[in-house]
Structure 1
């Protein structure tokens, strides 16, 4: 409970500070608040675990807290700054929702660390002692320490093998970005079920493509759309399109109007109307009810020449044209709704459709643009991939720079970064083998893992160097226990996201659980094995082994 209070207070303060800059929160930022509780508790856990250990060994509470803050302060500062750097790297993205997530998380992490070394000690000193001090549970770390000390080379060999397998999986199956936005919603979403039912009953794709044609006047837009009709009809014949809705299908071109009007010149209009009325009456229609209809037919038949667009609207077709044809001060725009036969969520199917349409537009000299959920999804995936690279590079450079400034020794720097490298590589390998795709929700996980993995390395290397590089059991007992508890609380926070019915949030939880597990395995096995080999003295030659002549 003590460890949770500073984190909750920090998040409340961070939300208040965030509200000064932003009046709303997006769904991803709200969903990640639970995971931030797990991250924020890391700092309090390290302080509490060290303080409780010292108290159990006979030190007074205030002195134990001072010692805990003094010994862990350097590691806490570096861990906090590297984590904040990873979150602040989100500000280089082009997507506003990533800015919100990075800003709120950085504020929360910084405040959590500050309260862990100020508010938490004051709270512990003022509150009564809950019971006699006891050593924290070891959670199997002594056995792990003994295994590392006995088989360091075997552990390194296994780590190398896992890294090679992960690298091979990445080479064969590189990461992919999700272009089907339906896959980030709940699988049992009523909206998706209705879409699927409509597609099953009526055929064609769930989502239409919109072809926007722009010109100076509505008449010019209609002319361009009429020139596109042969291509669209050919695509229907070829099976690419199931149907097309276009203003050109409602308002015929003048040649078609003339061909339709010509037969009327040889017909007796009054006789045609009489036949129409009698036929409708024999079918059971009330004569008074169909009077207005027959008068409109008579008015339409009286036009012996082709009609212009304004007349066509006055004849009662304006309500049909309004959703597909409009104009303003900048010009006119027409929309042709294209219903593909199959879904266009893959690059191959989408490119086959778009290339044929863009080729026709270029050939005919028509200014047109394709839009719709398919194209928006593809464009979003492209933007997210760029943001993913920018955020990752910025976070990586931030972590590297801060570690170099704080640690300074090349070997220690490489040891701090070892859990990051192994953890991210293993995580990527698992995702490649499992066919896991990145989306605009789980894209934030890799920068988070950079901060988390570096934190684990910071705590262990800091404790190991403080013990003169000679006491690996003590390192795992003190720093390793804090790292393990931090990882478990973070896993618990992200585990709540993995249980979400929203597949986007669930992917955030699943990917983060895999990544944190990989980082903690590297921090508690691979890193101690390397440090164990490094701390062993070189073998000496036995006395008398030299043969003298």
Structure 2
């Protein structure tokens, strides 16, 4: 008794242990997580995302409907204060940080002069020496008289001593495409407001809930102080909310209709809902094992791994349906049913598992995760189907109406050859005219069709040129201070050379921001001496015509210089407001490691995603990375091209080896390979004719199509050999089962064709097209190729 129960108990224990891994599983919706981290373009975007991206910062564009631009800054301040009062913002910024945080700015300015080039610091001290200080102040008054209205005039009026002339401060207060430092457009018709979420945003649901509250506050504000003002929302939370909400709506909205249609189709073919219930139960166990093992191995799954669910359903359900359909012919004879279905299921699972495990050779980590999950699930599916579902079908699937088809719809040998040749010639003609499908590996394919966040971003780009694609981010990483200083010097060398070659127009780096012990040592005595002249300088500034308000910043900076120079060691700003300002371009950790953010202005003729891509890639490496989505398409296209050789060749050899072991007939092996090749050729032709391109999402359909192609070919060929090439038995058993499998998969993926997101629509179209073609070739063409000639008979 115990010996008989040992194997089932071990099997149940395995399922429980494997399923326990689901509690460790987390889902990562970041596109970058499914890409190789050692790719320079991925490294640059990841580094920017980790160090500088603000997932909780919302960008609000404020524009006047009636061209009354005088009050836009006041309107931005009013809205910001309203959001703060409503508790819907932790912080709101409607003007540059140096104006909103004067205390922190004073410490930062003092630090930058202490940390900067000793020659510049010495020149500042000489300009403010007793011999030259009055001349310097007179020059400051003259510059104020000629300064233009706006931010430049405000800075001059509050800077009698020239402290803001430090190169690093100029970069902070003038322009920065990465931080959005310019708040008002050049024509004065647009103004920006930045707000931070009151609490951390863990995902798109949190972002969606926060945006709903923000919109409520904006709607109430527009009825009072904001009358006649247009407001647009963009930024990371806005895109995250739109994309996540749209995907959830598209995927869940059609699930009821899809399951209902599949259930009706199953009832029409099998006439036993209890068999459907049993199949659903098996699927639950299969998913528990697959996701549990993924939890134990990976812990976190990327976006690409999500498609493993659909692939696993599409392939594992095939096994159950083959068993159900063959049971109609076998009746209640378990041995007969096992002979008809167990071997095809076992060999299909083994071959498909090998193919999907080969995906771990790919350069895309997400593809490896997908392969492992599907392979694990198919192993569990085959084992449970043969050991559990087959006896279940024998017991509950008897006494059903026998199929009556004759198989007349399956073309004979010569006709199937003719049809295959005609289809192949037509496909090659389409590809010769339209070419192979292109690629589009960027984040734009994930945006909804009618994206309010994208519309707002387009308006921001039109009003603020620094937000446009003319510039590109540069990330400099280091593990220590000395290493960072070396890499900043190296970045200057590389991009100066690129500027001379005409690849870029200019490069901007936060020079003097990172703590430099050598510079601080040289500047400490100079600034300590300068700080002792504070009273004299303040008196002279007053005599020159500066008000107390105009000298407040200079007075505060001199005071901070005295404080900072009192320390002998390496110093860094301590005030929270000062540290917050440095985060615009610097992310420094307590251990001295961190990153700096700069940007480069591209030359008008530069083509970073085209012919100049190798030149831009050559600028990266050794902790210096470019951060721009435009570099992604050529980078991923190149990686996918390499994967074709690195993955497909070993996969093809494994596939042929498995087919030799299964079929042991060259003709059957050739027929299966030709069926898969023809299906792929026809799908490429349809994609090319329809203008579809490969992207992050629809690329996931390729393993599904490969798996179904192998599955269908093995089932058809083994059935033909078992029945002596009886098209009648093939049609009534395997063909109808495969037709149900194909149609149910088409129904599931077909619902995505109506998605609001381009990537999901393309996934639906590619999957529907590929599955339909694969099913038609396997059911209607492959049998004729395997049919023996009269001479062979």
TM-score where L is the length of structure 1:
0.72
Residues of 2 paired with 1:76 and 1:332: CA distance?
A: 54
Matched, 1:42 2:306: no
Structure 1 range deviating more: 428-437 or 509-518: 428-437
Taking structure 1 as reference, are residues 460 and 231 closer, same or farther at Cα in structure 2, changes over 3 Å only?
closer
Runs (5+) with no aligned partner, structure 2: 1-272, 523-536, 562-569
Indicate the residue corresponding to 1:19 in structure 2: 295
CA contact (8 A) 1:439 1:504 kept: yes
Residues of 1 paired with 2:745 and 2:605: CA distance?
A: 39
Map Cα deviations across residues 387-427 of structure 1 (whole Å, 9 max, x no partner): 35433333322221111011111112212323111111211
Residues of 2 paired with 1:160 and 1:216: CA distance?
A: 63
Map Cα deviations across residues 31-89 of structure 1 (whole Å, 9 max, x no partner): 431342122110111111111244xxxxxx421x4322212332222211121122111
Indicate the residue corresponding to 2:790 in structure 1: 536
Map Cα deviations across residues 289-317 of structure 1 (whole Å, 9 max, x no partner): 5552353588899xxxxxxxx99989x98
Q: How far off is 1:429 after superposition?
A: 2.3
Indicate the residue corresponding to 2:362 in structure 1: 93
Taking structure 1 as reference, are residues 380 and 190 closer, same or farther at Cα in structure 2, changes over 3 Å only?
farther
Indicate the residue corresponding to 2:773 in structure 1: 518
CA contact (8 A) 2:445 2:759 kept: yes
Taking structure 1 as reference, are residues 507 and 530 closer, same or farther at Cα in structure 2, changes over 3 Å only?
same
Residues of 2 paired with 1:162 and 1:294: CA distance?
A: 78
Residues of 2 paired with 1:393 and 1:219: CA distance?
A: 46
Indicate the residue corresponding to 2:600 in structure 1: 338
Q: How far off is 1:119 after superposition?
A: 1.6
Residues of 2 paired with 1:69 and 1:406: CA distance?
A: 17
Taking structure 1 as reference, are residues 390 and 195 closer, same or farther at Cα in structure 2, changes over 3 Å only?
farther
Equivalent of residue 421 in structure 1, options 673, 677, 685: 677
Residues of 2 paired with 1:335 and 1:400: CA distance?
A: 51
Secondary structure (helix, strand or coil) at the match of 1:536 reads coil
Indicate the residue corresponding to 2:443 in structure 1: 181
Taking structure 1 as reference, are residues 135 and 317 closer, same or farther at Cα in structure 2, changes over 3 Å only?
same
Indicate the residue corresponding to 1:351 in structure 2: 613
Map Cα deviations across residues 440-498 of structure 1 (whole Å, 9 max, x no partner): 433343343233212222222222222333x3343333322222122122223333454
Indicate the residue corresponding to 1:144 in structure 2: 409
Equivalent of residue 382 in structure 2, options 113, 117, 125: 113
Equivalent of residue 124 in structure 1, options 393, 407, 418: 393
Taking structure 1 as reference, are residues 84 and 509 closer, same or farther at Cα in structure 2, changes over 3 Å only?
farther
Indicate the residue corresponding to 2:422 in structure 1: 158
Q: How far off is 1:219 after superposition?
A: 6.8
Matched, 1:441 2:697: yes
Indicate the residue corresponding to 2:283 in structure 1: 7
Residues of 1 paired with 2:484 and 2:792: CA distance?
A: 87
Equivalent of residue 464 in structure 1, options 708, 720, 725: 720
Secondary structure (helix, strand or coil) at the match of 1:431 reads helix
Q: How far off is 1:515 after superposition?
A: 1.6
Runs (5+) with no aligned partner, structure 1: 55-60, 255-267, 279-286, 302-309, 540-549
Secondary structure (helix, strand or coil) at the match of 1:199 reads helix
Matched, 1:62 2:341: no
Q: How far off is 1:505 after superposition?
A: 4.1
Indicate the residue corresponding to 1:304 in structure 2: none
TM-score where L is the length of structure 2:
0.52
Residues of 2 paired with 1:227 and 1:464: CA distance?
A: 69
Taking structure 1 as reference, are residues 8 and 232 closer, same or farther at Cα in structure 2, changes over 3 Å only?
same
Residues of 2 paired with 1:48 and 1:311: CA distance?
A: 75
CA contact (8 A) 1:31 1:505 kept: no
Residues of 2 paired with 1:77 and 1:222: CA distance?
A: 59
Matched, 1:293 2:553: yes
Residues of 2 paired with 1:8 and 1:15: CA distance?
A: 11
CA contact (8 A) 1:209 1:339 kept: no
Secondary structure (helix, strand or coil) at the match of 2:599 reads strand
CA contact (8 A) 1:88 1:106 kept: yes
Indicate the residue corresponding to 1:32 in structure 2: 308
CA contact (8 A) 2:473 2:627 kept: yes
CA contact (8 A) 1:222 1:247 kept: no
Secondary structure (helix, strand or coil) at the match of 2:474 reads strand
Residues of 1 paired with 2:589 and 2:296: CA distance?
A: 41
Map Cα deviations across residues 96-122 of structure 1 (whole Å, 9 max, x no partner): 322221111112122222222222233
Equivalent of residue 736 in structure 2, options 462, 481, 486: 481
Taking structure 1 as reference, are residues 239 and 400 closer, same or farther at Cα in structure 2, changes over 3 Å only?
closer
Equivalent of residue 246 in structure 1, options 494, 504, 509: 509
Residues of 2 paired with 1:31 and 1:156: CA distance?
A: 31
CA contact (8 A) 2:403 2:732 kept: no
**Residues 354-503 of structure 1: pairs in structure 2 closer than 5 A:** 354=616, 358=619, 369-374=624-629, 375=631, 378-469=634-725, 471-503=726-758
Residues of 1 paired with 2:710 and 2:754: CA distance?
A: 27
Higher RCO (CA < 8 A, seq sep 6+): 1
CA contact (8 A) 1:217 1:332 kept: no
Equivalent of residue 134 in structure 1, options 384, 392, 401: 401
Taking structure 1 as reference, are residues 250 and 119 closer, same or farther at Cα in structure 2, changes over 3 Å only?
closer
Matched, 1:168 2:428: no
Secondary structure (helix, strand or coil) at the match of 1:438 reads coil
